[in-house]
């Protein structure tokens, strides 16, 4: 019934319209790519001659006037460290809390659940000033670890909520079967329950990593020393100085920074498409 149907004009119009509004986005990302490998573009995105000059930040210093930019590799390492730590902590803590909220019963559980829901909607950036004070107080200002803690805390309600959902989906009977087969609670947890929510954990981890990798506002506000810069801050500074001057360099640096995101899109193209994006950004 569906195969031989001829497309109606209205349907064709919708296709065209969708293609038209989507075009600028595709165009912009194409530019990012071609701009990074060429110093001259035709029609905005067709490269005229290939050059690696724009990628020079990978092997040499970038200077503007007398200003010398930081080497990108330690900064990349910082970003990896930041995103990696956020991922690890967020997954670990939300696994623990999600399990408790899903399968344990204790006084105050309902309250914690409701608070989590509200926090899930509550935008942490509104608290930036106070967060500055807190970080300063606990001696974590200007440290990557400080940004890690904040980012983890602000993403925890959502991650915990998701993980709780995964635990909720595992039927009690499976857990019970494990007890009948002779498992202790701990054994049932890591031999039977954890393996079943692996895909969910992976998804939470991926999103935690990407969120950490993309993180800008906290690094920008709470980190001052250049040795603690992350790629986001580095690129922001680069844009400040090279805008109008060298878009090729900016495109290359931007693309370099995008690598994990692109990898994510290529690897998970289908399975992760419909997954949670809510509440992360406005």
Partner 1 sequence: MEVVMRDVVKRFGNFTAVDNLNLTIKDGEFVALLGPSGCGKTTTLLMLAGLYKPDSGEILFDDKIVNDVLPKDRNIGMCFQSYALYPHMTVEENIAFPLKLKKLPKKEIERKVKEIAGKFQIEHLLKRYPGQISGGQQQRVALARALVKEPNLLLLDEPLSNLDASLRISMRAEIKKLQKELGITTVFVTHDQAEALSMSDRIAIMNKGKLQDIGTPEDLYMRPKNMFIAGFIGNPPMNFLEVGFNVEGDKIILRRNDFEITLPKEISANYMKKQNDERVILGIRPEHLSIGNEAPNTIKGEIFVVEHLGKDKLVDVKVGNDRIKVLTGQDFEGKMGDMVNVHLDLKNIHLFDADDGNSMKWAA
Partner 2 sequence: MRQLEMEICENVTSKKASMEGLRKFLGALPFLGPFLFLIILFYLVPVTLTFVMSLTSMDYVLEWKFVGLENYLRFFQDSGVKTVVLNTVKYVFFTLIINVGFGFLLAIATSYFIRNENIRLLFQTIWMLPRMTPPVVYALLWLWFLDPTEAGMLNSFLGKLFGIPAQNWILNNPMKVVIIANGLIGASLGMVVFSAAIKSIPVDYFRAANVDGASDWQIIRYVIIPFLKWPIMFMTIWQTLSLITSYEYILLITDGGPLNKSEVWSLFSYHKAFSNYEFGYGAAISMVLVLIAVLIAILMLKVFGYDAIMRRGNVDGMRGEAGDESNKNHVAV
Instruction: Pick the closer one to partner 1 by CB: 46 or 174.
Output: 174
Q: Which two tokens stand for residue 142?
A: 């200007």
Residues 100-129 that bind partner 2 (CB under 8 A): 100-109, 112-115, 117-129
Beta carbons within 8 Å of 52's beta carbon, 6+ residues apart: 37
If we measure between CA atoms, which residue out of 88, 60, 75, 73 comes closest to residue 144? 75
| Site membership for partner 2, residue 157 (CB under 8 A) | yes
Q: Which stretch binds partner 1 (CB under 8 A): 52-60, 120-128, 176-184, 233-241?
A: 176-184
Cα distance between residue 231 and residue 76, in whole Å: 6
Q: Which of 76, 102, 196, 268 binds partner 1 (CB under 8 A)?
A: 196
How does DSSP classify residue 8? P
Q: Which of 74, 123, 139, 171 binds partner 1 (CB under 8 A)?
A: 171
Residue-by-residue DSSP string for 227-241: GG--HHHHHHHHHHH
CB of 39 to partner 2, least distance (A): 12
| Site membership for partner 2, residue 259 (CB under 8 A) | no
| Site membership for partner 1, residue 195 (CB under 8 A) | yes
| Site membership for partner 1, residue 182 (CB under 8 A) | yes
Instruction: Pick the closer one to partner 2 by CB: 66 or 77.
Output: 77
Q: Is-contact 162 99, C-beta < 8 A?
A: no
| Site membership for partner 1, residue 203 (CB under 8 A) | no
Beta bridge partners of 47: 41
């Amino acid at each position: 019934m569906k195969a031989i149907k001829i497309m109606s004009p209205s349907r064709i119009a919708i296709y065209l319209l969708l293609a038209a509004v989507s075009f600028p986005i595709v165009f912009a990302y194409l530019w990012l790519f071609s701009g990074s490998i060429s110093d001259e573009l035709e029609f905005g995105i067709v490269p005229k001659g290939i050059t690696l000059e724009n990628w020079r930040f990978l092997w040499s210093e970038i200077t503007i006037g007398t200003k010398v930019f930081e080497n990108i590799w330690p900064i990349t390492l910082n970003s990896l460290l930041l995103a990696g730590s956020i991922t690890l902590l967020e997954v670990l803590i939300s696994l623990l809390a999600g399990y408790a909220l899903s399968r344990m019963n204790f006084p105050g559980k309902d309250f914690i659940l409701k608070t989590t829901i509200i926090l899930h909607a509550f935008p942490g950036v509104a608290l930036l000033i106070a967060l500055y004070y807190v970080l300063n107080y606990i001696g974590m200002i200007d440290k990557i670890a400080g940004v890690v803690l904040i980012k983890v805390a602000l993403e925890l309600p959502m991650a915990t909520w998701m993980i709780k959902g995964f635990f909720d989906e595992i039927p009690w009977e499976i857990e019970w079967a494990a007890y009948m087969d002779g498992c202790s609670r701990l054994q049932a947890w890591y031999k039977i329950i954890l393996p079943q929510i692996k895909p969910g954990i992976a998804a939470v981890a991926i999103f935690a990593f990407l969120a950490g990798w993309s993180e800008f506002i906290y690094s920008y506000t709470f980190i001052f020393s250049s040795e603690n810069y992350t790629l986001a801050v580095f690129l922001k500074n680069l844009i400040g100085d090279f805008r109008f001057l060298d878009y090729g360099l900016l495109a290359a640096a931007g693309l370099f920074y995008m690598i994990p995101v692109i990898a994510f899109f290529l690897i998970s193209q289908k399975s992760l498409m419909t997954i949670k994006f809510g509440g992360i950004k406005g």
